[in-house]
Amino acid sequence: MTRAVAIGECMVELNLSGARQAAIGFAGDTFNTAVYLSRLGVPVSYATALGAEDPFSAAILRLMAEEGIDASLVARAPGRLPGLYAISRDAAGERRFHYWRSQAPVRDVFRLSDEAGLAPALLRALRQANLVYLSGVSLAVVGEAGRAKLLALLAAATHAGAAVALDVNYRPRLWPSAEVARAALSRAAAFARFVSLSEEDDAELGGWRAPETAEVVERFADRTVRVRSEDGVLDIRPTANPPAAVDTTGAGDAFNAAYLAARIRGETATYAVAAARKLAEAVIAHEGAIIPRSAMPAPAS
């Protein structure tokens, strides 16, 4: 059975619903994808760092257990709290994010893993995985030293046969400059079998291109999805209007999960895009990045 390891950050999510009201949830780009991969039948482990004594970290671990995500690669940091972000939305469902994450344990995830004796387990898990998933956010939050360690781990994983999937997910505020981001993404993408990005990512990165050896999936504002692979370039246009957006948070993460789950099962790119669109459209019809299990759509036909 295909096994996946996702690497990144899970934060506390405050979903603002008024001047003094917010619903508390837990999310993060690669964490959201891990949840949806698990729901789609892909066993997944999540590599991150959390606090050791606080109720928020404990709640994240409970959520991982509920979603069937293996937490054996989670390092713990006494005296520290996971990152936090709040979401406000406009009438069209588009979001503004407000972050408190500068001291989040994930920034020291590899040092904390070493101190906890988890480094051998992480290396072993990556070598045994069929799929390794990370994002531009993963690369940004671990810093320069963490990126060097992460790139070495990706090299070991690909050498052992894992397919690396990289979601570009460029967030300028997390990077010292676009030049630093482009260089880091290029180094990580050199290991990638799959690369995902949005039209906005492409524009903000100033023409950054994934390697020709990767299968690249680009999502455009008009909902066209372009898949570039060794078979050529395929533009897949939508056949129906999407539902009204309540909250677009996590839609791209869900898209990536469904696309990858289909592709690693051997489905065509056309089928994978249809499955990915179906899940992403279910996500935007609900508040928050992770929708209730009862709202998960039936498999694409």
In the three-class reduction of DSSP (H, G, I as helix; E, B as strand; rest coil), residue 55 is classed as helix
Tokens of 105: 């344990």
Residue 218 near residue 235, CB atoms below 8 Å: no
Known catalytic residue: 231? no
Do the strands 131-135 and 163-167 form a parallel or antiparallel pair, or are they unpaired? parallel
Which residue from 222, 290, 219 is spatially nearest to 259, judged by alpha carbons?
Answer: 219
Q: What are phi and psi of 290, to 5 degrees?
A: -115, 115
Single out the catalytic residue among 167, 202, 247, 253: 253
Distance CA(191)–CA(214), nearest Å, equals: 9
Distance in angstroms (rounded) separating the CA atoms of residues 39 and 108? 29
Q: What is the DSSP string of 111-167?
A: HHHHHTT-HHHHHHHHHH-SEEEEEHHHHHHTHHHHHHHHHHHHHHHHHTTPEEEEE
- Residues assigned a catalytic role: 253
